[in-house]
Structure 1
Amino acid sequence: MNNNLIKQADPKQAVIGVLIFLFPFLSLVTPFGIGLASFSLLIAALFFLKPGFAALRTHWTAIRWVVLLFGFNFLYTAACLVLRDQSIGDLEKPARMLFALSALMLVLAAKPDRKALWWGVIGGAFLGMLLVGYQRLVLGEERPGGLLNAITFGDIALSLGLIALAAMVDVRSVRKVFWPAIGALAGLAASTMTGTRGGWLGLVLCGLLFIQHSHVLNNRRVRAVVAFTFAFMAAMYFIPETGVKERVRQGVLDISSYFSGGSAFTNVGVRLELWKAAGILIEDAALLGRGEDGYREVLEPLVRKGELDPVVLEMPHFHNEAVQAMVTGGVIGLVAWFGMILAPFVFFTRAMSVRNASRQEFATALAGILLVTSYFGYGLTEVIFWSVKGAMFYALMVFLLMGFYLNAKEANHKPGPV
């Protein structure tokens, strides 16, 4: 990686590179960073509409399912506004996630340096670690989350760490590999200090991916840092001051207590009671669901009868992405959510299987598949898409990484010297 933040001959490319850098760099340490990035990239794309649409047409075969399924999520939500008495505000997230396509158009049309994204990820992870480290170690907060919800902060921090890990493939010298390694460790440390347990599920799934695509470890430096990273996470479990082991132990106790007839008002017990309630709701409205608020009318009488704990009425969502999609949108809603996970996963998986791929292609594809896999893992115990910031981080990063991968592929297969 070049030590210069942005090294572009074209001023337009330099400006776009700065916007891309600021997206991950500000995502954890400001309440507005992700929103500002989404609007900035959208506005910038307006200046590249003609070449942007031309680039989309050129790559349509490769990207069509990702674009169509993000579009389907938007259209189904819009249809639900007609079918049910829902707030127009429910359309904000799916609309903004679809408009994140502008980031893909911008990268394909302007071809900014992908190092802007790598440096933004590294810097964002490091600043995030400093922020929650200060809150945890100096202020004594048990569940620090910067200026975000602790779970959202921890999940995004872990995603930044994993993307930085993938960026290590895109470097050659020992000296330069140091920086993405620092970013990877910083993201993992920041996530650990938030006390977010759900992120560990995403990390486990990503670990399985590293095993499946073990050829990424052929580089001795990368293999050493990956091994150190997972050893670092294991160490966090056994160091009492991190609180990780205690939270795992508490989770086991919560499960035991719940199934023994104890209180549902624990971190894990709440989730189990919510999933029990969701089973009742899904059975009654399996096709179209009940919308974001309609299900409460069904839960209230069940709570009064004592069939469900009152805690189910106090939670804003069901702490599982698939369950949330089924309750609010039915089977069609589940397809809409899962499509936004599956389509990018297939895109990046195919990209990683291409023979004679350059390290630039492999790094961006690996970053993409780690992002999608980690988000799926988060969704097992949390609704990360409930947060506009969590949803927009995912959509913007998916489209940016797709764009940088396609640019790298085009450059690698271009005739003549590269």
Structure 2
Amino acid sequence: MNNNSIKRTDPKQAVIGFLIFLFPFISLITPFGIGLSSFIFLVAALFFLKPGFAALRRHWPAIRWVVIFFAFNFFYTLACFALRGQELGDLEKPARMLFAVSAMMLVMATKPDRKALWWGVIGGAFVGMLLVGYQRLFLGEDRPGGLLNAITFGDIALSLGLIALASMIDVRAVRKVFWPAIGALAGLAASTMTGTRGGWLGLVLCGLLFIQHSHVLANRRVRAIVAFTFAFMAATYFVPETGVRERVRQGVVDITTYFSGGSALTNVGVRLELWKAAGILIGDAAVLGRGETGYRKVLEPLVQEGELDPVVLTMPHFHNEALQALVTGGVVGFAAWFGMILAPFAFFTRAISVKNASRQEFATALAGILLVTSYFGYGLTEVIFWSLKGALFYALMVFLLMGFYLNAKDAGQQPGPV
């Protein structure tokens, strides 16, 4: 008992736990929180290289495909940089996404309490809701996003809410389910107030996953809270002040206008025109793509010929992850992007399918599945990986959840209460 007490108060675990708490907590309320956390995890991992690499080698059969695809994404970008003469800055995002593996190594080497992550997620969703709520209700901003882009803010807030939902499985005492429930509702409310429609697709996919894996939810009350949370999101459609119904109505009008030969200068119309442009470009450079800037040289004559609306030249990306990857990186680039989605999804899906697993294993695995699925959903109408913050949040959270899952698997015992 004394040894366990010493272990729980280990200073290095407390420090690393605090750093892990800070990552989701400050992700929405600062413009630098995600990038700073990425740097801190990398530096901190340098102090635990030996145990970190030992843990990496021990679990390599389980994690190899996730690490390989993140590495493949970096090295393919590096090859494109060398062959196409792209800007050096193009390497930053894939490099930092790969270096996010340091977060997993740090977790496996020091074995901090997973409660740090759960509380950071809950707190981050809550303070994020307060920030956009203030901007929406008191400053009158139609598309608030804190100090981030509104779409990036809304997507990350929704991911925090979904992870908070998963954390309820890791709670022993029913009365303590209250806090994860608050985090889940806060994340959903924050996302709703940003007016981000793309997140709704991710939410629908995640709802289907909750139904599929409902057997892992701890008890009836937890199931009721999950059902209430999704019902709450659906109910926002009927509350005019949320703007959800108006955004849906406007989307339908935009689609009808576009396909009837009307203007493409609407939110949805621009996306449809961009997808049309992507379809034209993909066939001309299917294997290796045209790079992040090279495709614009092909778009300009198409616009001049009247085949595409000039609005496509004003947009930074194609508002679809798969199309963006195919246009800029070809089939190889698409494989790199899809691998970073599919490999973590496969890892967490195998994890949640293990029989007689602990609550901690179920919680971290389900949180990982929801994170990956939500990001895939965002990517249907947005390029969330275009944003460095969006891409780093995904990579760091994937590797943190993998690390905590592997720690739980090693422990082979039920976790303590939140």
The alignment's TM-score, normalised by the length of structure 1, stands at 0.97
Aligned equivalents of 1:308 and 1:165: distance in 2? 43
Alignment root-mean-square deviation, CA: 1.0
Report the residue type matching 2:342 in the other structure.
L
Aligned equivalents of 1:48 and 1:221: distance in 2? 41
User: What does residue 180 of structure 1 align with?
Assistant: 180
Report the residue type matching 1:383 in the other structure.
V
Q: CA deviation at 1:34?
A: 0.3
Aligned equivalents of 2:413 and 2:111: distance in 1? 16
Aligned equivalents of 2:8 and 2:190: distance in 1? 32
Report the residue type matching 2:292 in the other structure.
E
User: What does residue 157 of structure 2 align with?
Assistant: 157
Mapped contact 2:255–2:268 kept (Cα < 8 A): yes
Mapped contact 1:282–1:289 kept (Cα < 8 A): yes
Q: CA deviation at 1:25?
A: 0.1
User: What does residue 65 of structure 1 align with?
Assistant: 65
Matched, 1:379 2:379: yes
Aligned equivalents of 2:39 and 2:299: distance in 1? 38
Mapped contact 2:52–2:105 kept (Cα < 8 A): yes
Q: CA deviation at 1:305?
A: 1.0
Identity %: 85
Q: CA deviation at 1:176?
A: 1.0
User: What does residue 93 of structure 1 align with?
Assistant: 93
After superposition, give the CA deviation of every residue in 1:304-360 in whole Å (9 maximum; x if it has no partner): 111100000000000000000000000000000000000000000000000000000
**Bigger shift: 95-104 or 82-91?**
82-91
Three-state SS of the structure 2 residue aligned to 1:380 is coil
User: What does residue 198 of structure 2 align with?
Assistant: 198
**Structure-to-structure mapping, 1:308-319, within 5 angstroms:** 308-319=308-319
Mapped contact 1:20–1:116 kept (Cα < 8 A): yes
Aligned equivalents of 1:186 and 1:176: distance in 2? 16
Aligned equivalents of 1:165 and 1:305: distance in 2? 51
Report the residue type matching 1:99 in the other structure.
F
Q: CA deviation at 1:8?
A: 3.6
Aligned equivalents of 2:359 and 2:174: distance in 1? 16
User: What does residue 36 of structure 1 align with?
Assistant: 36
Mapped contact 2:214–2:223 kept (Cα < 8 A): no
After superposition, give the CA deviation of every residue in 1:144-198 in whole Å (9 maximum; x if it has no partner): 0000000000000000000000000000112211100000000000000000000
User: What does residue 117 of structure 2 align with?
Assistant: 117
Aligned equivalents of 2:377 and 2:279: distance in 1? 21
Aligned equivalents of 2:201 and 2:216: distance in 1? 21
**Structure-to-structure mapping, 1:205-224, within 5 angstroms:** 205-217=205-217, 219-224=219-224
Q: CA deviation at 1:298?
A: 0.3
Report the residue type matching 2:334 in the other structure.
L
Mapped contact 1:101–1:399 kept (Cα < 8 A): yes
User: What does residue 338 of structure 2 align with?
Assistant: 338
User: What does residue 4 of structure 2 align with?
Assistant: none
Matched, 1:299 2:299: yes
**Structure-to-structure mapping, 1:14-413, within 5 angstroms:** 14-217=14-217, 219-412=219-412
Aligned equivalents of 1:283 and 1:143: distance in 2? 36
Report the residue type matching 2:336 in the other structure.
A
Mapped contact 1:210–1:216 kept (Cα < 8 A): no
Report the residue type matching 1:59 in the other structure.
H
Aligned equivalents of 1:311 and 1:156: distance in 2? 27
Aligned equivalents of 2:86 and 2:36: distance in 1? 27
Q: CA deviation at 1:210?
A: 1.0
Aligned equivalents of 1:160 and 1:227: distance in 2? 17
Three-state SS of the structure 2 residue aligned to 1:66 is helix
Report the residue type matching 2:133 in the other structure.
G
Mapped contact 2:169–2:217 kept (Cα < 8 A): no
Aligned equivalents of 1:331 and 1:103: distance in 2? 30
Three-state SS of the structure 2 residue aligned to 1:284 is coil
User: What does residue 4 of structure 1 align with?
Assistant: none
Aligned equivalents of 2:104 and 2:8: distance in 1? 19
Moved over 6 A (4+): none
Q: CA deviation at 1:413?
A: 6.2
Q: CA deviation at 1:217?
A: 3.7
Aligned equivalents of 1:361 and 1:34: distance in 2? 25
The alignment's TM-score, normalised by the length of structure 2, stands at 0.97
Mapped contact 2:358–2:413 kept (Cα < 8 A): no
Mapped contact 2:163–2:184 kept (Cα < 8 A): yes
User: What does residue 3 of structure 2 align with?
Assistant: none
**Bigger shift: 216-225 or 391-400?**
216-225
| Uncovered stretches (5+) of structure 1, i.e. residues with no partner | 1-6
Report the residue type matching 2:207 in the other structure.
G
Report the residue type matching 1:75 in the other structure.
F
Aligned equivalents of 2:245 and 2:157: distance in 1? 20
Q: CA deviation at 1:218?
A: 5.5
Mapped contact 1:351–1:362 kept (Cα < 8 A): yes
